[in-house]
Structure 1
Amino acid sequence: MRSCPLPRVAWWHAGQIGAGPSTFYEQMIASVTGVVLAVSTSEITVEVGGVGLAIRPTSQALSQARVGKEISLFTYLLVREDDLTLFGFADASERQVFENLKKVSGVGPKTAMQMISALGANEVRRAISEQDAKALTAAPGVGGKVAQRVVLELANAFVVTNAAFGVNGGTDWSDVMSALTNLGWGEREAREAVQHARQSLSSEDDSVTDVGERLRVALSYVNRR
């Protein structure tokens, strides 16, 4: 079976419907589920509807791939004038971090993938939110200047506020769960983080009722994992 990112005819049609082809495709392919046909150190080929999609995965996504087994990946299709590249992520959190990183001047998709693969999405989030540029330099190809630029340009990308989730000072722990899942963590991770936060704050007899404060405690847990 031939490995093919996307049929070229689809590119032409995308350009005819008013939206730019880049915007059209980036929003269209959010995830892929199919049988793994082949695995290499830098690519996974997944059969979807009789077509083998060539996907460039993070190291975390790559570790899930087994030839002959079904896999589900969150994806991001990068559209360039002469190329279509489909990137694969283990979860929505990885994809969100990737989308933020590639917005930074001087940080391309390759560098963004290297950062996520080397450090993990949670560590990248932590480093940015805590202004820890040095931690980012542990990723291949990321020097001090690039790391500082990432921290500077994404300083507010992962800052958590009540307003960001429409909870406006509410006190329900379900708001914390919703906030975590909106940030990209899975339900299991969010549930564990909430349990940890409740235990950590139990010594105060649950007197901390502000969602923002509860969320900060929960985030400190998932960022350390």
Structure 2
Amino acid sequence: MISTINGTVRSIHSDRLIIEVGGVGLSISVNAATSAGVTMGSQVQLFTSLVVREDSLTLFGFLSDEARSLFELVQTVSGIGPKVALSILGALTPEDLTRAIATQDVASIERVPGIGRKGAQRMILELQGKLNDLSTGATYSGHVAQWRENLTGALVSLGFSPKDSDSAISAVLSGLAANGQDPSTMALGDLLKAALANGKSRRG
């Protein structure tokens, strides 16, 4: 696997760079943010991810290891492929994307072309808890959205164990994501009612 490329920038386009390495020009797919971060004729190091398809091999490049790691992580979300993942990293810095996922900031993610509200909610739901694997996520991995903290406290006070509370809240999040709803905009009472209903069905 090709993890990094060090070479000279020979051509700059909004969606790709030509990097000369040992006399060979390599075409690297990038986003506009990466293109804007390099200059013609300069030496550059790109952190790369090779995407293999039945009819193609595409090398994607990033200016930081964090961006490359997030690019690969985002593709684990159902419905998100490399092109959309690249677009996400072009619209949001690794720090901003990590913060948005950790704090469940749907509004920041849904602004990315091709994502939409449901896609942003699905991304947050599926990537919550996976940020500890990323160095850029260390600052934000302990941050919990205020609504979730309040809801957990309410459930525990009603006799739910922390494990049951987490299961009930995860079920609520799945239902909200399916309906395109943002939990941060809902009243605690409505969230609690939904969580209690899920908890009751799970307990039988």
Normalising by structure 1, report the TM-score: 0.59
Deviations 1:105-128 (A, max 9, x none): 101111111111111111110111
Q: In structure 2, what is the Cα distance between the partners aligned to 1:119 and 1:59?
A: 11
Please tell me the root mean square deviation across aligned C-alpha atoms, in Å.
Answer: 2.2
Match of 2:46 in 1: 73
Aligned equivalent of 2:135, options 183, 191, 202: 183
TM-superposed CA distance for 1:184, in Å, is 4.9
Structure 2 counterpart of 1:93, which letter?
Answer: E
Distance 2:105 2:25 in 1: 40
What is the Cα deviation at residue 82 of structure 1?
0.6
Contact 1:104 1:149 in 2 (8 A): yes
Task: From the superposition, tell whether residues 143 and 31 of structure 1 become closer, same or farther in structure 2 (CA, over 3 Å).
Answer: same
d(CA) in 2 for partners of 1:117, 1:136: 12
1:77 and 1:86 in contact (8 A); partners too: yes
Contact 2:16 2:31 in 1 (8 A): no
Distance in 2, matches of 1:86 and 1:29, equals: 8
1:216 & 1:93 partners in 2: Cα distance? 13
- The alignment partner of 1:76 has SS state of strand
Residues 15, 29 of structure 2: 8 Å contact kept: yes
> Equivalents in 2 of 1:217, 1:184: separation in Å?
8
Equivalent-residue separation in structure 2 for 1:31 and 1:67 (angstroms): 19
Taking structure 2 as the reference length, the TM-score comes to 0.64
| Change in CA separation of 1:53 and 1:142 when aligned onto 2, cut-off 3 Å | same
Q: Give yes or no for contact 1:58–1:117 (8 Å, CA) kept in 2.
A: yes
| Distance 1:39-1:102 versus aligned 2 partners, 3 A rule | same
Distance 1:86 1:105, change over 3 A: same
Distance 1:115 1:150, change over 3 A: same
Runs (5+) with no aligned partner, structure 2 = 144-204
Kindly state the Cα deviation for residue 60 of structure 1 after the two structures are TM-superposed.
Answer: 3.2
Name which one, 1 or 2, has greater alpha-carbon Rg. 2
Q: Distance in 2 between matches of 1:141 and 1:88?
A: 20
- Secondary structure in 2 aligned to 1:65? coil
Q: Residue 73 of structure 1: CA displacement?
A: 0.8
2:37 and 2:13 map into 1 onto residues whose CA distance is 12
Shift of 1:217: 8.0
Question: What's the CA shift for 1:65?
Answer: 2.1
Deviation by residue 1:31-71 (Cα, 9 ceiling, x = unmatched):
11101111111110001122111011133321222222211
Distance 1:65 1:98 in 2: 19
Q: 2:91 aligns with which of 84, 101, 118?
A: 118
Q: Which amino acid aligns with 2:75?
A: K
Distance 1:157 1:218 in 2: 9
Q: Does 1:46 align with 2:14?
A: no
Does residue 60 (structure 1) correspond to residue 33 (structure 2)? The answer is: yes
Flag as ranges the 4+ runs of structure 1 deviating above 4 A: 215-220
Q: How many residues align?
A: 143
Q: What residue in structure 1 maps to residue 198 of structure 2? A: none
SS of the residue aligned with 2:88? helix
Mark the runs of 5 or more structure 1 residues left unpaired by the alignment.
Answer: 1-27, 165-181, 186-214, 221-225
Aligned CA distance change for structure 1 residues 34 and 147 (closer, same or farther; 3 Å): same
